[in-house]
Amino acid sequence: MSLTMKLLLGFILDLIFGDPISIPHPVRYIGWLIGKCEKVLRPKFKDTKNGQIIAGGITTLSVVSISTGVCYLILFLLGLINNYLRDLGEIIIIYQVLATKCLKQETMKVYSELKNNNLPEARIKLSYLVGRDTEHLNEEAVARATVETIAENTSDGVIAPLLFMAIGGAPFGILYKAINTLDSSIGYKNDKYLYFGRIAAKLDDVANFLPSRIAGIFLILAALFLGYDFKEATRIFLRDRYNHSSPNSAQTEAACAGALGIKLGGDNYYFGKLVHKKTIGDANKAIDCETIKKANNLLYGTSIIAIVIVCLLRYSVLMR
């Protein structure tokens, strides 16, 4: 079976089933591996800047190598039994790596609580998705944070892994998820991970450099097809896509903010400390729970555009 067909089938499975809790997910195992590597490697190096950078670098290399290698090994062993079984295994991994439906499901939980005027529960649901402090956020701030999560993860959770897998199949998807999970786990600029997580954070920046920009462009196209503000999405994307400490995070956020006519970003508290951030977009419209639904429409539109373009390019260039 061609990789193009596997990508399409994996994408469709993700839209139908999402990520059921009952099914083991690769990211859980990657997270477990990160914890084990950190526990073993941290104490073996001096608690200095260089020592922690080296320890974190070895942890990063180990997690990426082991995760990708295990994926290759599983597919190889399945292929020894039957090629159809290998194809099925790769389709399942592709399906698990993509996160379109899961992202919508988790963010719509916040939407539902806001819709029911249950702000305390909405804050709790949001806290599972973001790193910022949520206990004192008002309704608008909760909705804004949720929209930012959807916009950023449109790239991290869907477009970036899809592009990686379009090049190297399921193993490249696992490679990307290992890098991304490392950044989410240890790529913090706090006292504990400032040096230990530095290489993981830099590697994530490199891995997402092109995908985030492509995702921003796809999101602008989605705005056009969905009837949102295409011109404003383009303008804000070009103006504000670097208004973030990360070179990649604001790419899709800027396009989303422009498409919906809203302002994202700004100051937030993280672990009790105020962090100043630039804003993204213009506040032409108020942000409320309905904005979350619109952001999810953009997520789905962007995802569908991406899979169509990827499949067409693979078929036209490789004829497979």
Compute the average pLDDT of residues 192-200. 93
Asked whether the predicted pLDDT for residue 22 surpasses 80, the reply is no
**Nearest partner of 298 among 266, 240, 237, 255, judged by Cα:** 255
| pLDDT greater at residue 235 or residue 320 | 235
Q: Read off the pLDDT of each residue in 259-283 and give the average, rounded to a whole number.
A: 91
Q: How much is the average pLDDT of 136-159?
A: 96
- pTM for the full predicted model: 0.94
pLDDT digits (tens, 9 = 90+) for 249-258: 899 999 999 9
Strands (E), 149-302: 264-265, 268-270, 273-275, 279-280
Q: Residue 319 pLDDT > 70, yes or no? A: no
Res 131: pLDDT:
85
Domain ranges, ordered by start, for the chain = 3-318
Determine the pLDDT at residue 191.
82
Distances (CA, A) of 8 to 2, 101, 127, 206, 303: 10, 15, 32, 26, 11
